[in-house]
Amino acid sequence: MGRIVRFTVSIDEKLLEKFDSFIEEKGYVNRSEAVRDLIRSALIEKDLKPDSFAFGTLTIVYDHHQRELAERITDIEHSYLDNIISTMHIHIDHHHCLEIVAVKGKVKEIKELADRITSLKGVKHAKLVFTGVEP
């Protein structure tokens, strides 16, 4: 880790109150660590280029009663074997399943995988999150 540098930030009082509530909710020890995490997250997103390499997760909630949906999801996943590290399937209730897919590879390939699954009829919610090592 590099040398620690202090800097000053000017912020609207109401925004600071909301930020302090956020910090407390998340359990941060101080504002500095929360700001560092926000900066890291922004830099990871900024550095995502279509051909760059990334890791992430795709979280999917779907209606397992939707005809052939589970099979379609599996077929799509099989088309991206080089990008899928692991999957976890969870039964939420009688009608819904949660699937978490750990992914790696070129950003454009991972986004394509996510888009193909997200657009399927019966998928209630899907979210792709990229992560990386601290810049």
Condensed to tens digits (0 to 9), the pLDDT of residues 69-93 reads 999 999 999 999 999 999 999 999 9
Lowest average pLDDT, out of 35-39, 42-46, 57-61, 131-135, goes to 131-135
Torsion of CA 69, 128, 83, 50, to 10 degrees: 130
CB contact at 8 A, 76 and 50: no
Q: How far is CA 118 from CA 3, 30, 76, 128, in A?
A: 43, 37, 11, 10
More confident residue, 29 or 135: 29
CB contact at 8 A, 116 and 73: no
Amino acid identity of residue 78, one-letter, is H
Measured between alpha carbons, how far is 11 from 4 in angstroms, rounded to an integer? Answer: 22
CB contact at 8 A, 61 and 97: yes
pLDDT band at residue 135, thresholds of 50, 70 and 90? very low
